[in-house]
Amino acid sequence: MEKRPEISAEYFDEWYADMARPHNETAPHDGIAPHDEITQRHLGLPASLLSTSLLSWDGIADVVEALRLPAGGTLLDLACGRGGYGLEIAARTGARLIGVDYSAEAIRQATANPKASGTSARFEVGDLAATGLPSASVDGIVCVDAIGFATDQAAAYAELRRVLVSGGRVVLTCWEPLDRGDPRLSDGMRAVDTQQGLLDAGFIDVEVRDRPAWRASERGMWEEAAHLDPGEDPALQSFHDEAVHMLDRFDLVRRVMATGTAP
Ligand SMILES: C[S@@+](CC[C@H](N)C(=O)[O-])C[C@H]1O[C@@H](n2cnc3c(N)ncnc32)[C@H](O)[C@@H]1O
């Protein structure tokens, strides 16, 4: 079975702190580390977006459409990381943004994100299963590539339902196992079941759709990373190693966008 590193808020604090350290030796030209340049090019993302996942630029448009945010509505970006996707969606829709993540370091960086300045966006430390927000206080929720991290999946789906107003929409992007019994996948991956999670939490209009175009850009990225020569660059080496690992399991999972409406 695939082994997962110990995942915690502290783990992500360190992950984000490391990301913020200058990579001078590996980014000689324009300040962008080579692995970031490869990721951004395949996903079509501008460097300023500060993503830490694999939702593409085209994917953001799919998410915006699925959210159906009302004018002047409030959007929760749950497990927001450095806030890149939430800020982009808020800019496109005019929504007020609240970003929540359990990594205090991610929240610190999201608050300092230049794209947040001059906006009404706010970022707070909170958990997927306990955001700290009042009940029925947001009109839409986006959770990009993070729902699988919740240790109690049912509690996380219940929290999505609790904070949404009636009629509010939730949009989750993630990967799901093709076969929940596949021992080559981690326990965490095998536990992801957005359809069941949303239905059990009481959502209606639940749809879980495959996103083959997102999958294609992701595959292109991993293939380029798997074939590059990392040289002496440790970040590129770990990107290369991750790519080999991900391609090995690529056909065991599907890329999905799950949506639901709060009744
Ligand atoms: C792959 S990153 C994605 C971040 C952001 N959504 C993006 O796409 O750029 C996963 C995020 O989930 C957050 N996370 C993981 N478990 C969490 C939990 N139980 N509660 C809140 N945030 C969590 C991590 O701190 C991290 O920021």
Where are the domains positioned within the chain? 9-214+247-261
> Is 3.40.50.1980 the CATH classification of the domain at 9-214+247-261?
no
Cα–Cα distance, 163 to 138 (Å, whole number): 6
Instruction: Give the pLDDT confidence score for residue 145 in this predicted structure.
Output: 98
The string of pLDDT tens digits covering residues 27-46 is 544 678 888 999 999 999 99
Q: Residues lining ligand 1, judged by CB closer than 6 Å?
A: 12, 51-53, 79-81, 84-85, 101-103, 106, 127-128, 144-146, 149-150
pLDDT digits (tens, 9 = 90+) for 248-261: 999 999 999 999 99
pLDDT value at 203 more than 60: yes
Q: Provide the token pair at 96.
A: 């007020």
Kindly report each contact of residues 117-123 with a partner whose C-beta sits within 8 Å and lies 24 or more positions away, as own/partner.
Answer: 119/87, 119/90, 119/91, 120/96, 121/83, 121/86, 121/87, 121/90, 121/96, 121/97, 122/97, 122/98, 123/80, 123/83, 123/98, 123/99
pLDDT in tens, 155-188: 999 999 999 999 999 999 999 999 999 999 999 9
CA–CA separation, 92 and 75 (whole Å)? 12
Sign of CA dihedral 63, 66, 67, 69: positive
Q: How far apart are CA 77 and CA 75, in angstroms?
A: 6
C-alpha 83: how far from chain center: 10
> In this structure, how many other beta carbons lie within 10 angstroms of the beta carbon of residue 26?
18
Ligand 1 atom with minimal separation from the 53 CA: 8
Rounded Cα–Cα distance for residues 193 and 195 (Å): 6
Q: What is the mean pLDDT of the chain?
A: 93
The alpha carbon of 74 and the centre of ligand 1 are apart by a number of angstroms equal to 20
Q: What is the 110 CA–ligand 1 centroid distance (Å)?
A: 12
Q: Is the pLDDT of residue 69 over 70?
A: yes
How far, in Å, is the centroid of ligand 1 from the Cα of 184?
23
CA distances from 242 to 29, 43, 263 (A): 24, 17, 40
Rounded to whole angstroms, the maximal C-alpha distance in the chain is: 54
Distance 133 CA to ligand 1 centre (A): 17
